[in-house]
Structure formats: C-alpha cells, structure tokens
Amino acid sequence: MIILEETMMPISNYFAPLRNVLLTDAAACVFMSVPMIFATRWLEKILNIPSALLFFAGICLLPVAIIMVFVATRKSVSRNGVALVVAGNIAWVVASLSLIVTDWIAPNFIGVAFIGCQAAAVTVFALLEYTGLCRLALAAKIN
C-alpha cells in the first residue's frame, strides 16, 4: 500500500470522497432525467420550458450518469475521466445559464428558478469533482 508522507494517508483514501461525489452526481442525473423524460408536458406547463428541450436534456443525462458511474467504479479513478466529467458539468452550467440570459426560450419565474437551481447544483458537483481531481494530481506528484 502506498502511503503519502505528508499526511500518512493511504493513496486509496484519496479516491473515496471523489468516488462518492461522482456517484452522487450520477444519481442526481438519473433523478433529474426521470421527470424530464416522462413528465415533459406537465413540466412544460409549470416551467414554460419547451417539452422537446426538457425531453432531450433528460435523455442526455442518462449516458452522462453512465460515464460518471464508470469513472467512479474503476479500481483506480482516472484523472482524465474526472476531467471529462468536470468539463461536461461546466458545459451544462454554461448552456443552462445561456438559456436564462438569452431569448432562446422564455421560461417563467419558476422555470428560471428551475434552471438556476440545477445549474447551481451542477456547479457544486463540478467544484467538488475538480477538488478531487486536484487531490489526485497532488497524490500522484508525491508518489
């Protein structure tokens, strides 16, 4: 077992928090995708967001969740895999915020709150995953 000299923590311990964040992010993707796929008409009425956008965004979340689970469940967490997840989350946030600030769609107040809250949650996931990525890089340098 490799031990990090500065903290005396086994390197495998650096993977655990990152794995948990990735798996929680994947679960959140699935959780959000279900109503976006199966309740699009209802959500469209409440949020004033086009049902096609909701449906396809929900569909996009499923392979993203699979990638997150794949990255999280490998014996050794791939830094490139985590970087891909972080980049995808950043792209999701940018796309979400662009829906709010442009006139591509016209969500009502609840729709703006929906988009803003999920963008904020994805930002938190991206920051936590990026922090985990930095810890992996530091662990690799020390070893």
Tell me the pLDDT tens digit for each residue of 34-82.
999 999 999 999 999 999 999 999 999 999 999 999 999 999 889 999 9
Does 131 map to a domain? yes
Q: What's the chain's average pLDDT?
A: 91
Does 116 map to a domain? yes
Does 3 map to a domain? no
Does 2 map to a domain? no
pLDDT digit string (tens) for 87-114?
A: 999 999 999 999 999 999 999 999 999 9
- What's the pLDDT at 61? 98
Q: From the CB of residue 89, how many other CB atoms can be counted at a distance below 10 Å?
A: 24
Instruction: State whether residue 11 is helix, strand or coil.
Output: coil
Q: Is the pLDDT of residue 6 over 60?
A: no
Give pTM, 2 decimals: 0.88
Q: Which domain holds residue 108?
A: 12-142
Does 87 map to a domain? yes
* Domain count for the chain: 1
Whether the CB-CB separation of 1 and 122 falls below 8 Å is answered with no
